[in-house]
Amino acid sequence: MTMSKSTPHNLTWHREPASEPLDANEDTLALVRSMVKDGQRTALVDTLKKWDPVDVMQMLTRLRLKHARKLFQWLPADPSIKVIAELRPEFRAILLQEATLEQFRDILAELDPEDASEILNEFPEDVAEELAQRLPDVETLASRQIYADDSAGRIMARKFVALPETCTVEHAIAQIRDEAKRIRKIFTVYVLDASNHLVGTVEVGKLLLAPTQKHLADIMNRDFIAVSADTDQEEVLRLARKKDMRTVPVLDRDGHLVGRVTPKQLTRIASEEAAEDMLLMSGVSSEAKADDTVFRIVRGRLPWLLTGLIGSSIAATVVGSFEDQLAAAAILAAFIPVTMSMAGNAGLQASAVAVQGLATGAIWTGDLFYRLFKELLAALCNGAIAGVILACLVMAVSLVFPIEAPHRLALATSLSLLTVTTLAAMVGATMPIVLDKIGIDPAMAIGVFITSSNDILGVLIFFLMATAFYLG
């Protein structure tokens, strides 16, 4: 492989096995060393940002220490943070010299505490602790670590405007102006009683329109929702959507206001939960990332694949148990994929709607049976239409190819399609709700579980119908 200094974009790296350097990477190492010596920072960094962090890590450990340190200092926070995560502790200790830690400290010090805390979570624990001690808001960052990941306490902003209920509108507006530089966006003023407990909220727009001598107690909204610092972020998002709240106040165990979940955080939560649900619905672990190692990919996906394998094996066993029926009428085998496909699709459609309703809070306990009744009627209609179409196709094909007792075959297949579609839709509509009630993410119902269960149900019903109406 021949490379020149004028073509840094040709830098490539071949992933090396453990403790086994590859000769194919020697030209790349020579060119990187030359670019570091010549100070070609922009060209080299632009290229390395496109590399996988594991490859950058391997390349750094093959360079001389002074070159590796200099290059690492050139790298921006991303991907250098991911590179640190891949380094073994002994390499990390050598690479992270004082200047590098100070470089990261300067970057994090410019961020809001909640953003800095989120980035620190990407660092290995030892590096995160070292950096946290160097930051000006070390106490704020440390207090966040007492809360669980994905909790309201971990993501909340600690900057807010809270005033006593005896405060006048005029004074409240003046206070907002004073806080404007410290808090970039103020949507809600929180009202406290004499014991510093949250008793109401006042939107800024309502405050500006109220008479200046009115007290906050006279205009505040007493029908508000607050969450504890231990509340899961998904539940925070659900409550915010249910009450159409732009910000959500967060209380400690004593009922005192300690923070607020901002619109920015609510948007981020919605994006994260949507991405997580998409992964779960695809049968992939919610912790999966694009730059995962092969081991992590296998560990995250194999359990779901094995679950699907078990379901498929059971479905195959069901088919095998009807061997005599298949031997008597081989044409039945042609309808097995049709039945399984319809069952899977009907179940996935119903479960997707149920998961979305649970995520947005649209499904209430009071109208649960009404929703299930609607799903039942819709499934009956869909199944009946699909069954009639399939029956017509069977009769049409019988005019071209000889089929024994086509009327009975059309009846058996159409009835099985009606039954399978209806039952699969009801399973898909109820399973996410049941999982949600027992504390399991309902998105897990979609994909492997719904598909496998409905495959088994579908083939069983199909052969029972075929035995009763076609072979009987």
Q: Is residue 438 part of a domain?
A: yes
Domain of 362 in residue numbering reads as 294-469
Total number of residues shown for the chain? 472
CATH number for the domain spanning 23: value is: 1.25.60.10
Query: Do both 298 and 428 map to the same domain?
Result: yes
Query: Do both 41 and 91 map to the same domain?
Result: yes
Query: Do both 228 and 369 map to the same domain?
Result: no
Q: Is residue 45 part of a domain?
A: yes
Q: Is residue 2 part of a domain?
A: no
Contact (CB, 8 A) for 124 and 106: no
SS3 of 321-332: the string is: HCHHHHHHCHHH
CATH number for the domain spanning 258: value is: 3.10.580.10
For residue 148, give both structure tokens: 């669980």
> CA angle, corner 257, sides to 251 and 262, nearest 5?
80
> Which parts of 367-444 fold into alpha helices (H)?
368-398, 406-437
Q: Is residue 440 part of a domain?
A: yes
Q: CB neighbours of 359 closer than 8 A, spacing ≥ 6?
A: 234, 238, 273, 277
Q: What is the pLDDT of residue 7?
A: 45
pLDDT digit string (tens) for the chain, length 472 residues: 334 344 455 678 777 665 566 777 888 888 888 888 888 888 888 888 777 766 776 777 677 767 777 777 777 655 555 555 545 454 454 455 555 556 566 656 656 666 566 556 555 555 566 666 666 654 555 555 567 777 888 778 778 889 999 999 999 999 888 887 777 778 889 999 888 889 999 998 889 889 989 999 999 988 888 998 888 888 888 888 877 788 899 998 888 888 888 888 888 787 777 666 666 666 555 565 555 567 766 776 677 778 778 888 888 888 888 888 877 788 888 888 888 888 888 888 888 778 777 766 666 556 677 778 888 899 899 999 999 999 999 899 888 888 888 899 899 999 999 999 999 888 888 888 887 777 776 766 666 777 788 888 888 898 888 888 888 6
Question: What's the structural domain count of the chain?
Answer: 3
Give the single-character DSSP code of 432: H
Last residue of a domain, one of 253, 278, 303: 278
CA distance 203 to 7: 58
Q: How far is the first Cα of the chain from the last one, in angstroms, to the nearest whole number?
A: 72
Greatest alpha-carbon pair distance for the chain in Å reads 91
Residue among 335, 321, 325, 339 at smallest CA distance from 421: 339
Q: Is residue 285 part of a domain?
A: no
Q: What is the pLDDT of residue 3?
A: 40
Q: What is the pLDDT of residue 119?
A: 58
Query: Do both 145 and 16 map to the same domain?
Result: yes
Give the number of other CB atoms < 10 A from CB of residue 11.
Answer: 19
Last residue of a domain, one of 245, 278, 311: 278
CA distance 250 to 223: 15
Q: Is residue 286 part of a domain?
A: no
Give the single-character DSSP code of 162: E
Query: Do both 204 and 81 map to the same domain?
Result: no
Query: Do both 138 and 53 map to the same domain?
Result: yes
